Amino acid sequence: MKRALLVLGLLAPPLAHADPEITQAQRNAANDAFQRANWPAAAKAYAPIVAVEDHPALHGRYGTALVEIDKPRDAVPHLEKALAIIPNPRFAFYLARAHARLGEAEAAFAALDRMVAIGGVPVATLSAARDLAALADHKRFADITAKNRAAVEPCRAAPEFRQFDFWIGEWTVKDPKSNTAGTSSIQLILGSCVIFENWTGTGSSGKSFNIYDVNDKKWHQTWTDDRGTFTHYIGSFTDGKMVLVADQPANGKPGLARMTFSKLANGDVRQFGESSSDGGKTWTTSFDLVYSKRT
């Protein structure tokens, strides 16, 4: 009987070994190392995880760490696997870096084209990548750099967003009698997309956000002040002037408010305000202000 059991034991297939279980502590350690840019620790921590868990984000992070510790050949398949599922421009950026280090210029350019197509990376990130220096002499790299900037900084590239730049500055504001009405700090913020007004008047203060909307191809200003006023203006840049119009009911009746901004020959800016109670058929002057640069 013992002999029979021994023979059966020899003939039986070996028991399959279960894949090692990845603990949450391992994942946390890998992610923490990645966030701290501790690339050797991140690569070491992600290696056993990606061997068990076929998740694209994990492959992308592992590939990123491998590039950073100068293992570009090992990094390529992991970054490709990640990009097959997740359109992450940073993974494409690291794929380009890996190919560039391997001297594979065409593959590097293909990865950079892919990077731009899915959103691009910050301009400073691209310019700081020393392993892409070998590509810098190619005209194609200059084109990619320009396209990347347009992708990540669309407001800088589109001329429509620059139509109201003449209002940017630090201003003293006066009425037609040269009385000081207030001061205004007009700033360009949020990636050059928004013109931010900070108004301090003799009797009140207010702020506005001004932005060109690519959807309706109109300029929008949202104004609010310390008296609880909220007004939304819509308009356009026409004949060298910014003209904005808003619904502004008065005494329970419909009304319109219109502001016209124009750059004067000496660099000052005129803001001319009007109101209408007949649907825009006739207009009455509300204010007339001139912005002069503060010295």
The percent of residues in the chain predicted with pLDDT above 90, rounded, is: 85
Looking at every residue in the chain, the average pLDDT score rounds to 92
Tell me the C-alpha to C-alpha distance, in Å, between residue 111 and each of 87, 167, 280: 12, 41, 55
The 3-state secondary structure of 15-56 reads CCCCCCCCCHHHHHHHHHHHHCCCHHHHHHHHHHHHHHCCCH
Domains of the chain: 19-152 (1.25.40.10), 160-293 (2.40.128.20)
Q: Please enumerate in sequence order all residues whose Cβ is within 8 A of that of 12, keeping only pairs 6 or more positions apart, or say none.
A: none
Strands (DSSP E) found in the chain? 169-174, 180-189, 194-201, 205-213, 218-225, 230-238, 241-247, 256-263, 269-276, 284-293
**Residue 20: predicted pLDDT:** 66
6-10, 202-206, 222-226, 265-269: least confidently modelled range: 6-10
**Residue 19: predicted pLDDT:** 52
Mean pLDDT value of segment 115-134: 94
7-21, 75-89, 130-144, 191-205: least confidently modelled range: 7-21
Mean pLDDT value of segment 67-83: 98
Work out the pLDDT band at 251, boundaries 50, 70, 90.
confident
The percent of residues in the chain predicted with pLDDT above 70, rounded, is: 93
Q: Helix, strand, or coil here: 278?
A: coil
Q: Please enumerate in sequence order all residues whose Cβ is within 8 A of that of 116, keeping only pairs 6 or more positions apart, or say none.
A: 89, 144, 147, 148, 151
Tell me the C-alpha to C-alpha distance, in Å, between residue 155 and each of 20, 23, 122, 165, 294: 50, 45, 14, 12, 27
**Residue 252: predicted pLDDT:** 84
Kind and range of the H or E run holding 5: helix 2-11
pLDDT (tens digit per residue) in 92-110: 999 999 999 999 999 999 9
Which range among 152-156, 201-205, 287-291 has the greatest average pLDDT? 287-291
Tell me how crowded residue 229 is: count the other CB atoms within 10 A of its CB: 11
Instruction: Give the distance, in angstroms, between the CA of residue 34 and the centroid of all CA atoms in the same chain.
Output: 22
pLDDT (tens digit per residue) in 167-195: 999 999 999 999 999 999 999 999 899 99
pLDDT (tens digit per residue) in 192-250: 999 999 999 988 999 999 999 999 999 999 999 999 999 999 999 999 999 999 999 88
Model pTM score = 0.69
Kind and range of the H or E run holding 91: helix 89-101
**Residue 210: predicted pLDDT:** 98
Which range among 19-28, 155-164, 165-174 has the greatest average pLDDT? 165-174
Work out the pLDDT band at 17, boundaries 50, 70, 90.
very low
pLDDT (tens digit per residue) in 22-41: 899 999 999 999 999 999 99
Whether the per-residue pLDDT at 116 is higher than 50: the answer is yes
- Please check whether residue 198 is in contact with residue 185, taking contact to mean a CB–CB distance below 8 angstroms: yes
- Please check whether residue 119 is in contact with residue 151, taking contact to mean a CB–CB distance below 8 angstroms: yes
- Please check whether residue 148 is in contact with residue 123, taking contact to mean a CB–CB distance below 8 angstroms: yes
- Rounded CA gap, 98 and 113, in Å? 15
Structural tokens at position 266: 């000496």
| C-alpha count within 13 angstroms, C-beta hemisphere, residue 240 | 6
